[in-house]
A = this chain, B = another copy of it.
Amino acid sequence: MLKVGFSRVPVSTARTHRLLFNLRRINLATPVGNRSKLIRSVMGSHGTASSQSPKLLFRQLFEKESSTYTYLLADVSHPDKPAVLIDPVDKTVDRDLSVVKELGLKLTYAMNTHVHADHVTGSGLIKSKVPEVKSVISKASGAKADVLIEHGDKIYFGDLFLETRATPGHTSGCVTYVTGDGPDQPQPKMAFTGDALLIRGCGRTDFQSGNSEQLYKSVHSQIFSLPKDTYIYPAHDYKGFTVSTVGEEMLYNLRLTKDEDTFKGIMASKYCSYPVEIKMFKFLLYKV
């Protein structure tokens, strides 16, 4: 029998409401269900609420219109609380900078996993408001930024760092940022996958240097090779998911769990029209 139930006991606070408290406890018998070995293997190592580091402050932020996630990470053990924003969106720059200020952080990098028609970066706007911030994007993207990174590069903020993995395929310049190895680095790891790997899906590969074969190889070699309990934080989500894990996506991703030829077929048949933002893209590409 499973130990579930509810009990009624007083809540100890300085100023409790004047309510009548009854002390009782009810145990509800619940049948024990079967669990497959497969599911157990996925679950085994991600039983925590989120990644943990005594130094890390982490916030996930959402831009509703484009369904884009922006991530704020900071080393709050450092006197200056240096922080990075991953994939800031132009429309929410003021919100993001306000949070940075309220939390007493010092924003050092505005990092991009990629630029794309549905992904209008706010790093240029951030730089216009906070000139000391450095914009970051991959060299392979062809975009301009203060720091042009390549596979293997590490971005430090305080004692914490993010490692760059080239994950082209959605665009030729896509990268995934992965939290580091070492003392005080977040455990489980966190991977900011941009559009290379979405929760149960992936970014389109039909325009702007997209290549489904390349994306398949990128995800399998660079993301699915991470520990299974690594948290997946994508650039977008359209169904209300906020996080997944490598283990989950290896089992349940609707596209990347297929063999390569099936995946390429799915990607070839999936999209037939460009997003509206493509028309604006040529003006945005060089404004990272």
| Least CB distance, A105 to chain B, in whole angstroms | 8
Number of A residues with CB within 8 Å of any CB on chain B: 101
| Assembly CA distance A79 to B1 (angstroms) | 10
User: What 1/0 flags go to A22-44 for Cβ under 8 Å of B?
Assistant: 10000010111101100110110
Binds B, one of A3-11, A117-125, A205-213, A261-269: A3-11
Does B154 contact A76, Cβ atoms closer than 8 Å? no
Partner of A50, one of B50, B81, B241: B50
8 A Cβ contacts from A59-80 to B: 59-64, 67, 70, 76-80
| Assembly CA distance A235 to B59 (angstroms) | 17
Does B50 contact A58, Cβ atoms closer than 8 Å? yes
Taken together, the copies of this chain in the complex come to 2
Binds B, one of A12-20, A270-278, A279-287: A12-20
| Least CB distance, A15 to chain B, in whole angstroms | 4
Does A64 contact B64, Cβ atoms closer than 8 Å? yes
With a cutoff of 8 Å between Cβ atoms, the chain B residues found around residue A215 in the complex are: none
A163 within 8 A of B: yes
Does A60 contact B103, Cβ atoms closer than 8 Å? no
Does A17 contact B51, Cβ atoms closer than 8 Å? no
A53 within 8 A of B: yes
| Least CB distance, A197 to chain B, in whole angstroms | 15
Does B32 contact A79, Cβ atoms closer than 8 Å? yes
| Assembly CA distance A117 to B132 (angstroms) | 46
A/B interface sample: 22 pairs, CB < 8 A: A2-B78, A3-B158, A4-B108, A4-B157, A6-B136, A8-B149, A8-B150, A8-B153, A8-B154, A17-B218, A31-B132, A39-B103, A42-B103, A43-B76, A48-B53, A60-B242, A92-B240, A95-B239, A99-B241, A102-B248, A102-B252, A242-B242
8 A Cβ contacts from A103-148 to B: 103-104, 106, 108-109, 132, 134, 136, 147
